[in-house]
Structure 1
Amino acid sequence: MTHPDWDNPESFSIVVQGALFRSNLAETANHCVHWRRLFPHTPIILAISVTDIVTGTLCENGVLDDLALVETHQHDGELRNALFFLRQACTAITLAEPALALPLFKKDGKARNNINFQIAAARAGLALVNSTYVLRVRADLIFADRRFLAHYEADRALPRGHASVLDERVMISWLYTLNPYSLERLPLHYSDWFHLGLTSDVTRLWDVPPMPLADATYYRTHDYASGSNGAEKLFLVRLADEQYLLYPTFKAAFPDLHLDYHNDLRSRELCLDILIDNFIPCDLLRAGCIFEKYGHEFHNRNKRTQCITAETWRGLCHARGQDYRAITLNGAEEAPATPVDEPAAQGEYWERYDALHLSLRDATLQNGEIVAHTPNGSVLYGPYVTMPGGHYVAHVDCSLLTGPGVVTLRIAADSGQHLLAERTIDIPAETGRRILSIPFTVAFPAQQNIEIVLLIRKIATMKISHVDFCSDHSPQEEISLSSPRDGRPKPLTRLLRLLRSWRE
């Protein structure tokens, strides 16, 4: 195994890839200048996937020459400055082959699927690399300093096994390197935020054709696999982008690798062997990663079970072939399928969300349960699901609840923008199991990002095993008036709602 000279242009290059628009030109320039300060002698290649802000002549060698602002922005001083620093920082700038955006890849998503832009830009940038090693990275992500290199060197020499396909391990982000035993059970879903490794290996991973529209819209015409849970039923693509990128490389090496659809679990042990032998999940905090878009998730406790952290990966390396499920979940429970205790009737809605589906604030995950660690605060929120119109009731199963105190339940939609229901419950000075319920109505044919929020005041102990969202078969009439603007009912009182839901 060779030891890279990170300051030798023949040894190491950086490919920065992404779209270039008026809105992110300054950020991209700042990031490229930052990379240049960290690596004064390193080739830095900017691979533009699509742009409406710059123009130039694409030479035979793939380099974009005579780079300039488009005519409508040539008199904007800030943009001129940003482009000046961008050109100063980059060794070469290239424009990718044309690509098409695809529709939403998840039902609750807002952004289009840009996988084909990513593929085109990565291939264009990597084609200009002549060094032995490369860092291919999103344009909106940086490392604060060079610590990430030490992280890579420390872990890449660990022993490898039968699933070794790449010549050396490639470092990736632990976030969105999914645990196939957790919430979104997607084998071979390994983060594509950045790749650090041999240029030949990184190039191999991106040597894939564009994703076809049929794959991007697969679940609009196909049923989900039996046993799929609520989180997995949000996907519209046959394979998630990260799976689509990696599958060809590893299928060629393992003909018995099964991944016909996103939550095909037949080969998840093999997929974890592939992770052990070919990748290094990077500890983003230790490595000094800065990523504004997802920075809030770096400290998310739930993500540490839903994804494979650097620590969990090392545990897998030292326990190859053992109980991967136990190692990766570490006391949490695998996300259940839609409950099947009794057959669902036509139009019946019943989804169960445990600790792996929900986000925690003033609580921790202990032995698969949500445990409040303060008597006052916000315990949980989520799961941000899309629900059809209808009447529902949410049940919070508290395996242990001790008062006296107050619990407030809220149901909101559109990421908290619209309150659907709220209920305050007085908890007596008792200890025991209790189910807290709140009915709510979805007025539209489909409403996105529905969440339950649970707040406590003066609660001594609270342990929650799961939350159920169920159809409400006996909704009561509310006294209401119609709004002259949109015709939606405006409740005059919550009294009837509170009375009918007072099941505790």
Structure 2
Amino acid sequence: MCIKFKDITVVVQGPVQAYQGRSQAEGITHQCLESIRTHLPGARIILSTWEGQDCSGLTPDLLLLNQDPGGTVVAFDAAGKPQKLNFNRQIISSSEGLKQVKTRYAVKLRSDNFLTGNGFVKALSQFPARNAQDRIFLEPVVVNTSYFRCYAEGQRVVMHPSDFFHFGRTQDLLRIWDLPLFSDRVYNPKQAGQAQYHGAPLSCPHAEQIYCSRWLPLLDERFPPLVHRHQNSPELQTLWERFMASNLRVMEPEQLGLGLIDRFIPKHKRPNEMSHLDWLLLYRRYCDPNYPVSALTQFTHIGWQRMLKMPLRRLKFRLAPNHK
């Protein structure tokens, strides 16, 4: 399978300048658009941001200025101060951009990331095998390892795919991002003096889990909406692994050709994150038993760090007087 660049539309979503609560490297969105022209010549570019953003000098093929929904109130601390996250901003800028895509394939790319290559285009043909009973997407969706957690506080977690970068069939990306908007959490005066958040008093799911907990149960009813961050069981862990093997292609940024700004680049591979080798072992187990990948290679790369660090992180978490 050879995917031509002209059959791909890149939806660049998010802010193009700094605003309250969100810093932005100067010129990063210009760099993003130029990198697409360089590494995907012939691909269409849609910039999906919102009204009030200064888009001077930016030249996408289509500019969408969506109404800014603002931050979403997701929690209150013990003093009653609200905490806001950009759930609806990401949903609107992603979904409205994807709805304008006319090509078979699409990329969802943050406006503060950029391309350094086009390795992701070949990923679907590199790993063609799928388990028929586990198929949900029309074709696998290529995702990035950065912030794709498989551990949190030393415990195995599920339904935490990275939301930085998605490449796949346009219909499949819409199944991920065309979501109902989040409502603001309403303060409960009966719980005054207590933190109020999703999952309380247990740990709140990470934002990526909250997104996934919305779209994945709609596609496969065997997946439950997550009540808290560490919700898991042997059955759910296996179900999540089978989903990843057949429906995702999990790759390192340098394999994809994905450029990240400095604050997203760790000095060393994070042991709590999925690695491409982790995913390859799942691919061999559930899709292609003949794929040449070594568990020993994975252990020497990242497994030994987990064996040492995860028990300590879990102990530290359990000993903490309060956690969220």
Q: Cα distance, 1:175 vs. partner?
A: 1.9
Structure 2 CA distance, aligned partners of 1:245 and 1:43? Answer: 27
AA aligned to 2:166 is H
- Paired residue for 1:369? 308
Aligned pairs, number: 290
Q: Bigger radius of gyration, 1 or 2?
A: 1
Higher helix share: 2
- TM-score calculated relative to the size of structure 2: 0.76
Q: Cα distance, 1:467 vs. partner?
A: 6.3
Report if aligned partners of 1:258, 1:264 keep a CA contact under 8 Å in 2. Answer: no
Structure 2 CA distance, aligned partners of 1:271 and 1:468? Answer: 24
Pair 1:219–1:320, CA change in 2 (3 A): farther
Q: How does 1:140-155 map to 2 (within 5 A)?
A: 140-155=112-127
Pair 1:212–1:134, CA change in 2 (3 A): same
- Paired residue for 1:311? 277
- Paired residue for 1:16? 12
Find the partner of 2:231 among 249, 253, 264: 264
Q: Secondary structure at the match of 1:158?
A: coil
- Paired residue for 1:30? 31
Report if aligned partners of 1:105, 1:113 keep a CA contact under 8 Å in 2. Answer: no
In the alignment, structure 1 residue 122 sits paired with structure 2 residue 91: no
Q: Secondary structure at the match of 2:85?
A: coil
- TM-score calculated relative to the size of structure 1: 0.51
- Paired residue for 2:291? none
Structure 2 CA distance, aligned partners of 1:291 and 1:310? Answer: 17
- Paired residue for 1:75? none
Quote the RMSD (CA, aligned, Å).
Answer: 3.7
Report if aligned partners of 1:19, 1:51 keep a CA contact under 8 Å in 2. Answer: no
- Paired residue for 1:344? none
Find the partner of 2:175 among 199, 204, 207: 204
Pair 1:223–1:120, CA change in 2 (3 A): closer
Report if aligned partners of 2:31, 2:114 keep a CA contact under 8 Å in 1. Answer: no
Q: Secondary structure at the match of 1:137?
A: strand
Q: Cα distance, 1:279 vs. partner?
A: 0.8
AA aligned to 2:268 is N
Pair 1:24–1:51, CA change in 2 (3 A): farther
Q: Cα distance, 1:49 vs. partner?
A: 3.8
Q: Cα distance, 1:104 vs. partner?
A: 6.7
Pair 1:121–1:194, CA change in 2 (3 A): same
Report if aligned partners of 1:13, 1:131 keep a CA contact under 8 Å in 2. Answer: yes
In the alignment, structure 1 residue 287 sits paired with structure 2 residue 256: yes
Q: How does 1:423-438 map to 2 (within 5 A)?
A: none
Q: Deviations over 1:244-298 (max 9, x none)?
A: 333344323432322341322142321221111111111212333221144432x
Structure 2 CA distance, aligned partners of 1:241 and 1:32? Answer: 26
Q: Cα distance, 1:319 vs. partner?
A: 1.8
Q: Deviations over 1:421-448 (max 9, x none)?
A: xxxxxxxxxxxxxxxxxxxxxxxxxxxx
Percent identity over the alignment is: 16
Q: Secondary structure at the match of 1:178?
A: coil
Report if aligned partners of 1:331, 1:367 keep a CA contact under 8 Å in 2. Answer: no
Structure 1 CA distance, aligned partners of 2:112 and 2:64? Answer: 17
Q: Deviations over 1:175-229 (max 9, x none)?
A: 222215873543111011011000111111111111222399996166434xxxx
Find the partner of 2:268 among 297, 300, 303: 300
Report if aligned partners of 1:178, 1:307 keep a CA contact under 8 Å in 2. Answer: yes
Pair 1:158–1:283, CA change in 2 (3 A): farther
- Paired residue for 2:54? 53
Structure 1 CA distance, aligned partners of 2:213 and 2:186? Answer: 14
- Paired residue for 1:443? none
Q: Secondary structure at the match of 2:37?
A: helix
- Paired residue for 1:3? 2
Q: Cα distance, 1:18 vs. partner?
A: 0.9
Structure 2 CA distance, aligned partners of 1:172 and 1:468? Answer: 29
Pair 1:52–1:147, CA change in 2 (3 A): closer
Show structure 2 runs of 5+ residues with no match: 19-23, 78-82, 189-193, 288-294
Structure 2 CA distance, aligned partners of 1:320 and 1:126? Answer: 31
Higher strand share: 1
